[in-house]
Structure 1
Amino acid sequence: MPDSFRRALTGIHAATIVPMREDFSIDEDALAEHISWVSNSPGIQGLLINGHAGENFVLDRSEKRRVVEIARAASPRGCLIVSGVNAESSLEAAKEAAAIESAGADGLLIFPPNSWALGHCEEAIFVHHQQIRAATSVPLLLYGAPVGAGAMAYSSRVLEHLAADERIVGIKEGSWEVASYEANLRLLHALRPDFIVLGSGDEHLLTSYIIGSAGSQVSLAAVVPDLVAELWSAASGGDWVRARAVHERLYPLAVSIYRDPPGGRATARLKAALKILGRLNCDAMRPPQPRASSQEYRAIERALSHAVSDPHARAKSQPTSAIPSPTTL
């Protein structure tokens, strides 16, 4: 597998959202604008599209292919585009992966089917990845699911088996738990020193960078790309004082988007944050997820006020008009 892909995969890669219209159709113009803004932000090395932030579990195959086409057209030349593959059926996942590759994706991130949270045998994991591998030719990445996501997180034995495949070049390490992150990092680097481990827990990026990371694929970088890129720049340069200062600005925002209950609300909150910043007009979500509530908006607005110190960025925000009234929810 080309070393150029591994090199391009380092640094900060923004996991983008997919703007929807009120009728739940994809707003392609708004998507192109979002992709262009994020991918052209200083310090952003590439994109993760069709990820969880991009509502990949409610898009069909043709829509995911179209998202790739729009991302390729709207991003600058040389921007690395990795697309998620997320389907319950391995046969459908393989067809989806082939369609996404033909649309221009540079690599594929294989998500475990959501049904695996209830339990599965290890052989099912291997079969799923093999089906996608056989249908494609681009580099593949694993998704390390949160340890709290039922049975979705991979065991060390599964990681050893998957990492033996040279087509699989890295992992979006989303264990969301520091001890598991470090254990997986050490295991994978012991097996393959060139294996790319991306620290992708938005709440503990600084901790991941201290332990060791090649970069991140994170949706927080689709809202405040400059700050996430600054955090990585400071950490990768060993300037831990500056990194800690950036972390202090980012942490309340990460909590308001990813940690505050109830769970499963990150994408709706990302859209709310973008609307507050004047970067998104419509915050509609595909059912069954509702858009962000007025309470969620207020928490995100407070966190953004703490994070965004650039007066030009503040001028773009629309906090009063962006927060929905209870009657609109």
Structure 2
Amino acid sequence: MIPQIQNPYRGIYAATLTPLDDRGHIDETRLAGHFADLAAVDGIVGVLCNGHAGESFLLDREERRRVTQIAKQTIGDRAIIVSGVLCEESGEAGRHAADAREAGADAVLVFPPFSWALSQDAAMVLRHHRLIAAAADMPMMLYQASVGAGAMAYRPELLVGLAQLPGVVAVKEGSWEVGAYDLHRRLLAREAPHVAMMASGDEHLFPCFAIGSEGSLVSLAVLMPEAIVALDRAVTVGDLPTARRLHDQIQPLAVAIYGTSPGGHATARLKACMALLGRWPNGQARAPIVTLPPDEIDALRRALIVAGLLDGDAGENAGP
């Protein structure tokens, strides 16, 4: 549900996970609870489902549609539902976008195909987004990938061209580098001021919020939504001591999940944290995502304790 207010997309969105049962199927009851728990947090304006953290690239078309449908059925009356679209072929991406609309999404977020890390050109990127926009016929968000993601990270002039396409309302800015974020924010403020720039590098929330942001779509919010909302609010009102305190609480967990090699373990780490916190019975992910070794579980447990999410004594006995 998109609110009828000025700057309706502004705010903090949780980039959700996809819980699986012991057979590797989507646990629909637990997924609905996941959406409901997050939407109940004051300051969480919506969810991004079918994103990277939600393992969308490992879900088939029907599973992605079902994830969006469950979000709509569970929280569609009180939260904005953004559904990710990640496909290599533009026609297939368009069909997924149409599925998202029919399942109840309020907007789609278009992820660059993974093959673009090797090569792409501006005409290809623009055509892909135009075809998806035509098929979806609904608000569209862009994804600015990490500076380390090869050609998946759009050049500044290409990002401007995409932002000027009809229907584009926001950018999930995940450059993972504060200087690049600042450049992109300034550029779009000049060339496409109607597009919300959302700082979404989980390890860089404090400095990017301080530079300026219309919100964020982050998977770390599934673990500590209250702290991330509070950080955004503290920066907005200029309460620097509170913002620093919250940063000290958030950052060790952000680094343990996203800043530790290999980066491909991030989703497994998020799911392991859900299990360590007792929110889910398991942290199962789909192959080829791996089961984490004990030392990574221990590091996550320590980071959860620092974040104030897990009691130190109880954490010693908690399992993933």
TM-score by length of 1: 0.93
Other-structure match for 1:110? 110
Other-structure match for 1:74? 74
1:53 counterpart = 2:53: yes
* 1:131-183 deviation digits (Å, cap 9, x = unpaired): 10110121101100001012110011211211222311110000001111110
- How many residues in Structure 1 have an aligned counterpart in Structure 2? 319
* 1:201-228 deviation digits (Å, cap 9, x = unpaired): 0001000011110010000001111111
Other-structure match for 2:150? 150
- Identify the match of residue 319 of structure 2 among 305, 317, 322: 322
- 1:280–1:58 distance in 2 versus 1, CA, 3 Å: same
Contact 1:14 1:218 in 2 (8 A): yes
Which consecutive residues of structure 1, in runs of 5 or more, have no partner in the other structure? 324-329
Which consecutive residues of structure 2, in runs of 5 or more, have no partner in the other structure? none
- 1:136–1:207 distance in 2 versus 1, CA, 3 Å: same
| Structural mapping, 1:244-263, within 5 Å | 244-263=244-263
SS at match of 2:263: coil
| 2:317 alignment partner AA | T
Contact 2:76 2:104 in 1 (8 A): no
Following superposition, the deviation at residue 301 of structure 1 comes to 0.7
In structure 1, distance between residues paired with 2:5 and 2:126? 24
Which fold has the larger relative contact order, with Cα–Cα distance below 8 Å and residues 6 or more apart in sequence?
A: 1
Other-structure match for 2:63? 63
In structure 2, distance between residues paired with 1:34 and 1:213? 26
**Percent of residue pairs identical:** 43
Contact 1:8 1:45 in 2 (8 A): no
- 1:79–1:319 distance in 2 versus 1, CA, 3 Å: farther
Contact 1:38 1:44 in 2 (8 A): yes
SS at match of 1:78: coil
1:270 counterpart = 2:275: no
Following superposition, the deviation at residue 318 of structure 1 comes to 5.6
Other-structure match for 1:326? none
SS at match of 1:275: helix
SS at match of 1:109: strand
Following superposition, the deviation at residue 78 of structure 1 comes to 2.3
Following superposition, the deviation at residue 294 of structure 1 comes to 1.5
Question: Pairwise CA RMSD of aligned residues?
Answer: 1.8
In structure 2, distance between residues paired with 1:100 and 1:76? 13
Other-structure match for 1:171? 171
Contact 1:278 1:318 in 2 (8 A): no
In structure 1, distance between residues paired with 2:6 and 2:258? 28
SS at match of 1:13: strand
